[in-house]
Structure 1
Amino acid sequence: MGWDGGYWRDGSPCADIVSLNDGLELSLYIFRNIREIAGACAMEKELVPLLKENILQRKQFILEFVNKTDPFTLTTRIGPNDKKAVEEELNHLDHLLKKADENTLGQCEVCHESVEAARLEMDYSACVCLEHLSGEERTKLEYDLELSQKVQRALLPNTLPEIKRFEIAAFSQPARIVGGDYFDFLRFQDGTHALAIADVMGKGMPASLLMSNLQASLRIIAPEKLKPADVLERLNHIFCHNIRLTKFVTFFLAQIDEATRTLTYCNAGHNPPLLRHADGSIEWLIPTGAAIGLIEQTEFLQNSVILQQGDRVVLYTDGVVESFNKNEEQFGEERLEQFLHNSAALPTSQVIASLRETLHQFTQTTQPLDDTTVIVLTAV
């Protein structure tokens, strides 16, 4: 099965990154609605310090490279450019740092309003908001945004696995053009199915970059391991030592035994998946270890649950339970639990569409404030 226009081609919901078609329609939608997506053009308070830190790191890297590299290697690395180009880059970085100190970094030079946060995450030197871009600049940005989204879409699975005695459906939508939610279907060394869902701390481009790192690492490690705990232990080591883009990643990884319908899992600080048994009882698959990248010396415990026919598991990211309505009330775990009871009779392929509609009725908006990902697994 493939996916087409937001649905698996067999008619069930797919891993649609945004509920829009590719091409010009998507681009126009982005430009008309990016102020909403970026929070009505209000820059996040924590964004400017983060941008300043990144600029300082880049300046320090260039200075160390120039001062500590021998002349021959330096000439080789710079190529036809001379030190003047390096000096111009350093001057540009100093200019940005001065703007940060004056609290004007990320401010539009035309209207003096904040440049959209989503743009600043892609280009910290952006100094003109969308409304004041030239036609040529809009065309270039349109291309960059579409490319970023297509790259992230390519990182997520485009088919559902066929798992004996189970039905499965999945959906993912970033709060911005790209996001930090991740889900995947893999195999362990012994051929058993693996099901993964993760949430990178943060939003937008930085979270998306780390998500791609997570995907690459997981797809290399999982086929070499026999159980979830071994995979998460290795991932945690890599992230604690090599990744500096964010603080941590919440991660839920499950192994499915088709013969016995056994779900063996590790929950690394992720929102507890909700298991509704066929008899109506509820079980939360609570964390068994710390989030990935948070604590180096930690143990990842495994739990197992045997699913009976009619049992249903819903895996989700915090964009579901942390959705707010106009009264600033969260959707929360209790409403999710009630939804699972109300949707018990629905086929797996319809559960996600029903949940999306429920969230829409609750929030009265189609654009989530946080990345939202859902996987539904039903024992049949």
Structure 2
Amino acid sequence: MGIEKQGQNSEVQKLRDDNLQLSRENLRLQRAVEELGILNEIAVAINSTLAVEKILDLITQRCVHHLGAEQGEVLLLEEKKTARPFQTICRVGDTSHQRLPFRLDDQLTGWMLKHRAPLLINDMGNDRRFATGDGDLFSVLSLLCAPMVCKGKMTGLLVVFNKKAEAGFSADDQRLLAIIASESAQVIDNARLADKEKTLLHMQEELRLAYEIQYNLLPDEPPRLAGYDIAGKSIPAKEVGGDYFDFLAVGENSLAFCLGDVSGKGLPAALLMANLQAAVRSQAMAGTSLTSCLERANSLLFRNTSPEKFATLFFGCLDTEGHVLHYCNAGHNHPFLIGKETEPLRLSAGGLALGCFESFPFEESQVPMKPGDLLIVFSDGISEAVNDDDQEFGEARLIELASAHPDSSAAELIEKILQDVGRHAGDRPQMDDMTLVVLKRLT
């Protein structure tokens, strides 16, 4: 009987052990199913059209709920170095304990930046790396943190605080949070790529509009003047600037022309250029003097643009009957009047760039245009074009080139100058608009 009873007890114990093992296996399978469920839910969210903030909020909610934590948050690592490298972009909290939001201290985030590995702490009371705040209500008892890494680059941290179960966070909790953090990193990386693509498309559209504005403002063809040859050309840089030139008949024997360069690049520069052209044209058509025209344009720019916006402008008016060039130079590169038997003359009279001060008295001057005289008006994209040795093309080379081709037409001379500038720059990219106006007196 004793041996028989002993055998029955052994079988009972075996059944108990088998049931315990089965229960543990059931719990493991149940946990695995739950983990697959949460990972599947997160995968669906990642592939949805939800905003990245909502996706990360959903991920944090699921982590807090599934891991039995009180609070959780996602911290985004700033792309540019700052005093505080991490910024909280979503936070989920269990308010049943009436706790204030927990946070990681600088030492702990520094540890995560250095080690880029999951961190599990179930006894925060003995860990001085975490700032808990004041009072028991703000204390953190346990912490589980995982780095969000995508393509070898850390993008942020996923962290949960205070496991409700007395045993604290487990190795399985750490493994799951690490997997979720990795998936979350992909969300942030995709969002950043999308933002960069959106920014690039916006910049490309602005660039297209700037090109279009600049192109439409330029004259279709130069005017025909008896006894004179005139031409102009502008080649915009990749990052469109604010160069423009214009011709305007203001009387039977008068031709107004200008070449300007507004500050800035892209669409803002193109719009400012359009406003400047409109202001100059309206004043010129009204028969306003050169100085009055520039004074009004200056006032307009000053009142309607930000302080860093300004424009340089050479404004000339040619009397084709008296063969006199009246001009006013508002802070622009000094054009050169090159005669057959005289030294090149700088046309510098005028004043400051437009838009610098609310009012400024501009000065008008005049020079005679003799047969064979050549006027070259240019933007700084010509004279300041640099080569691989950072040497500028320079004004001296421009004068020398123009003087060496007295028989070339105005259009031909412009092409020769642009070609020579291109040879000088070599493989260096064009950094600024290049604009030229050439006026020659033939007879």
Which TM-score bucket, shorter chain as reference? 0.5 to 0.7
Cα distance change, pair 159–345 in 1 and its aligned pair in 2 (3 A): closer
Residue 172 of structure 1: aligned partner: 234
Residue 270 of structure 2: aligned partner: 208
Cα distance change, pair 141–181 in 1 and its aligned pair in 2 (3 A): closer
8 Å CA contact 2:328, 2:363 repeated in 1: yes
Residue 52 of structure 1: aligned partner: none
1:315 counterpart = 2:377: yes
1:326 counterpart = 2:408: no
8 Å CA contact 1:267, 1:285 repeated in 2: yes
Residue 164 of structure 2: aligned partner: none
- Superposition deviation, residue 343 in structure 1: 2.2
Partner amino acid, structure 2, of 1:198? G
Unaligned segments of structure 2, at least 5 residues: 1-77, 86-149, 154-190
Residue 241 of structure 1: aligned partner: 303
- Matches for 1:198-277 after TM superposition, within 5 Å: 198-244=260-306, 246-277=308-339
8 Å CA contact 1:189, 1:224 repeated in 2: no
Q: Provide the secondary structure at the position in 2 that maps to 1:266.
A: strand
State the distance in 2 between where 1:160 and 1:175 align: 22
8 Å CA contact 1:184, 1:195 repeated in 2: yes
8 Å CA contact 1:190, 1:226 repeated in 2: no
1:306-345 per-residue CA deviation (whole Å, 9 max, x = no partner) reads 1111100000011111111111111111111211222223
Residue 293 of structure 1: aligned partner: 355
- Superposition deviation, residue 348 in structure 1: 1.8
8 Å CA contact 1:149, 1:177 repeated in 2: no
The one of 416, 432, 435 equivalent to 1:354 is: 416
Cα distance change, pair 162–129 in 1 and its aligned pair in 2 (3 A): farther
Q: TM-score, normalised by structure 1?
A: 0.62
Residue 368 of structure 2: aligned partner: 306
Q: Provide the secondary structure at the position in 1 that maps to 2:439.
A: strand
Cα distance change, pair 249–99 in 1 and its aligned pair in 2 (3 A): farther
8 Å CA contact 1:165, 1:261 repeated in 2: no
Q: Provide the secondary structure at the position in 1 that maps to 2:353.
A: coil
1:355-375 per-residue CA deviation (whole Å, 9 max, x = no partner) reads 011101111047421111000
State the distance in 2 between where 1:302 and 1:273 align: 15
Cα distance change, pair 110–203 in 1 and its aligned pair in 2 (3 A): farther
Q: Provide the secondary structure at the position in 1 that maps to 2:350.
A: coil
1:264-303 per-residue CA deviation (whole Å, 9 max, x = no partner) reads 0000111000110122521111142111111223211111
- Superposition deviation, residue 151 in structure 1: 2.9
8 Å CA contact 1:176, 1:204 repeated in 2: no
Cα distance change, pair 344–110 in 1 and its aligned pair in 2 (3 A): farther
- Superposition deviation, residue 147 in structure 1: 4.2
State the distance in 2 between where 1:110 and 1:200 align: 43
8 Å CA contact 2:206, 2:266 repeated in 1: no
State the distance in 1 between where 2:305 and 2:363 align: 23
Residue 402 of structure 2: aligned partner: 340
Q: Provide the secondary structure at the position in 1 that maps to 2:395.
A: helix
Q: TM-score, normalised by structure 2?
A: 0.54
Residue 441 of structure 2: aligned partner: 379
Q: Provide the secondary structure at the position in 2 that maps to 1:158.
A: coil
State the distance in 1 between where 2:261 and 2:193 align: 31
Q: Which runs of 4+ in 1 moved over 4 A?
A: 98-104, 109-112, 126-130, 137-145
- Superposition deviation, residue 127 in structure 1: 5.7
State the distance in 2 between where 1:100 and 1:214 align: 38
Partner amino acid, structure 2, of 1:336? L
- Superposition deviation, residue 102 in structure 1: 4.9
Residue 185 of structure 1: aligned partner: 247
1:4-49 per-residue CA deviation (whole Å, 9 max, x = no partner) reads xxxxxxxxxxxxxxxxxxxxxxxxxxxxxxxxxxxxxxxxxxxxxx
% of aligned pairs identical? 32
1:182-226 per-residue CA deviation (whole Å, 9 max, x = no partner) reads 111123378721111111122223212211111222222211134
Partner amino acid, structure 1, of 2:358? E
Partner amino acid, structure 1, of 2:248? L
Cα distance change, pair 335–306 in 1 and its aligned pair in 2 (3 A): same
State the distance in 1 between where 2:208 and 2:333 align: 30
Bigger relative contact order, structure 1 or 2, given CA contacts below 8 A and separation 6+?
1
8 Å CA contact 2:241, 2:270 repeated in 1: yes
State the distance in 2 between where 1:309 and 1:270 align: 26
Cα distance change, pair 163–156 in 1 and its aligned pair in 2 (3 A): same
Cα distance change, pair 189–312 in 1 and its aligned pair in 2 (3 A): closer
State the distance in 2 between where 1:129 and 1:337 align: 50
Unaligned segments of structure 1, at least 5 residues: 1-97, 113-125
Larger radius of gyration between Structure 1 and Structure 2: 2
